[in-house]
Amino acid sequence: MTDRSISESDRPWLLTRVTLKRDAAAAALAPILLPGGRDAPMPLATGHRLMWSLFADAPERRRDFLWREIEPGRFLTYSARPPSHHGDLFHIDEPKPLDVPWRVGQRLAFSLRANPTVARRRGDGSRASRRRDVVMEGLYPLDSGAARRDARAGLERTQGLDWLTARAESRGFALDRATDGTPRVTVDGYRRHRVGRRGGGQAVLSSLDFDGLLTITDPAAFAAALRQGIGPAKAFGFGLLLVRPAPPGA
């Protein structure tokens, strides 16, 4: 199934916890679903197919959900309709409508796992472009070896924050900042994932985890961002913006 644009709805979208069961039936498939063991994240392609199986009730169904693996074998989905209860692989909690009257100035804690990329023109003189991982983009000018290893942690933060900041305004929020002007956001969990392509070959998707505080600047745009997700590769578990009230005194 392909990743298509998410349909909009006036109804509240649903937040649902989905957990891979640990009974005998699920255990028999564990080596396939969790080849790295039960404490390792599920391969992106496997998660992609399993999450689609919960929502693909028609051959031409458009994708109207986002998902994220929050722990090995445990997922959150955010969707226009509830996931299907077919099969014996998952325990699906009761979906909870996210029906919140967002307002300007509202402060929230957030968590986002994203695939941060930038579009760059190809070097063949054509107008075609390709997407590049923002961390690798920062590493390209550096000599290989120790220079890249030493620079990578800093680039994960600076490149990641630049990428997220550039998208925040149009998504209806601003990142909270400390007194010195730096965003109150942690950036870590950089990983590169290999995903098989149809017809052979592999694609490489990178991920970064962002956790911090934000302030809503445009409620309508913010609500749309929650439904549409942030960044590419949403079908593979990226882009779901999880929010909760900011802690007292934060």
Q: Are 62 and 141 contained in the same domain?
A: no
Tell whether 139 and 241 lie within a shared domain.
Answer: yes
Range of the domain at 138: 107-245
Q: 32-78: per-residue pLDDT in tens? A: 887 887 788 888 999 999 999 999 876 677 889 999 999 998 999 99
Q: pLDDT band at 124, cuts 50/70/90?
A: low
pLDDT surpassing 90 at residue 216: yes
Is the pLDDT higher at 28 or at 181?
181
Q: Do residue 165 and residue 49 come from a single domain?
A: no
Listed residue (71, 67, 68, 70) closest to 39, CA to CA: 71
Q: Please state the pTM of the whole predicted model.
A: 0.87
Mean pLDDT, rounded, for 194-219: 89
Of the candidates 237, 233, 197, which has an alpha carbon nearest to the alpha carbon of residue 47?
Answer: 237
Determine the 3-state secondary structure of 245 from DSSP: strand
Confidence of residue 163 (pLDDT cuts 50, 70, 90): very high
CB 90 within 8 A of CB 23: no
Does one domain contain both 31 and 70?
yes
Say whether both 127 and 199 belong to one domain.
yes
